[in-house]
Amino acid sequence: MIDLTVDVEQYDCPFVAATDDHPVAFSAVHWEYDTAADRTETRMVVEAADRESLDAGLSVLRGHEGTADYQLLSRRNDVAHIRTVIGQTDAMRIIREEDGFITGPSFIEDGSELWRIGFDDRETEEEVLSRLDRNHEFDVVKRNAPDLPELTDFVQNVGAAMTLIEGCRDLSDVERKTLESAIDGGYFQSPRSATLGSLADEFDVSKPAVSKNLRRGQRKMIERVVNALDELEG
């Protein structure tokens, strides 16, 4: 198996059009391709520079001719969770016709899209890239051809990786920002560059409050790490 990370400009993609016009970014949470209808259903997290940019980007997406269906699932300030159904783009058609397949979630920003594309052999890879080169601008950011033991190890340990990711999502905004500042400031180094006092001043809270946020964040992450270790051993 060959795995490529490709940065491609899809001129007919609704998401690319939205990010080309406005400072928004789309991260795929889930996608499912309907072979009968040649459409892809996606659930995306949308992040924008501000509320106005989010409104403008979503407006472009809703009104694009390639968008067959759009639903706003939730929204908070300049971040939204959406469901869409989009028609098959030219690049996706080429990949599917040549028996390529998507191996990871996409990320769209600044008018281009990061894709992870898989191929069974080198000939298929070369044919897809050759056809894409005729009508699309793209760069191969990374190429990886794992051997079977590496691939097996990756598949078997996906559960452990997801456990760690879920631990990050469990953190509140305050806990995450406090941990990030503590790490960046050298709180966990010896000797310490940051102290509870400096962190309390940074967040304009008391020392007990910042200590409580640190302990909560550390406990959540350590519990997930222990669970992930158990999964790896299993």
Per-residue pLDDT reduced to its tens digit, 155-192: 556 566 666 777 777 788 888 899 898 888 888 887 88
Amino acid at 144: N
Find out whether 39 and 84 touch, Cβ atoms under 8 Å: no
Residue-averaged pLDDT of the chain: 85
106 pLDDT higher than 70: yes
Please write the tens of the pLDDT for every residue from 133-151.
Answer: 888 888 988 887 655 555 4
Q: Rounded CA gap, 16 and 5, in Å?
A: 17
3-state class (DSSP) for residue 36: coil
* Six token digits for residue 200: 């309390």
Q: Is there a contact between 206 and 192 (Cβ–Cβ < 8 Å)?
A: no
Out of 41-50, 166-175, 205-214, which region has the weakest mean confidence (pLDDT)? 166-175
Apex 28 CA angle, 73 and 3, nearest 5 = 165
- Adjacent-strand bridge partners of 160: none
- List the structure tokens of 135: 């009508």
38 pLDDT above the threshold of 70: yes
d(CA 228, CA 234): 10
- Kindly give the residue spans of alpha helices, DSSP state H, lying in 118-195: 122-135, 148-156, 158-170, 173-185
Q: Containing H/E element for 216?
A: helix 207-233
Q: State percent of the chain over pLDDT 70.
A: 90
Which single residue is written with the structure tokens 């669970």? 227
| Bridge partners for 76 per DSSP | 79
Contact between 87 and 68 under an 8 Å Cβ cutoff? The reply is: yes
CA-nearest of 101, 91, 102, 98 to 132 is: 91
Question: What average pLDDT does the segment 98-117 reach?
Answer: 85
Mean pLDDT confidence for 24-46: 87
pLDDT at res. 151:
47
Ordered domains of the chain (ranges, CATH): 2-144 (no CATH), 157-233 (1.10.10)
Q: 97 Cβ partners below 8 Å, 6+ apart?
A: none
pTM here? Answer: 0.61
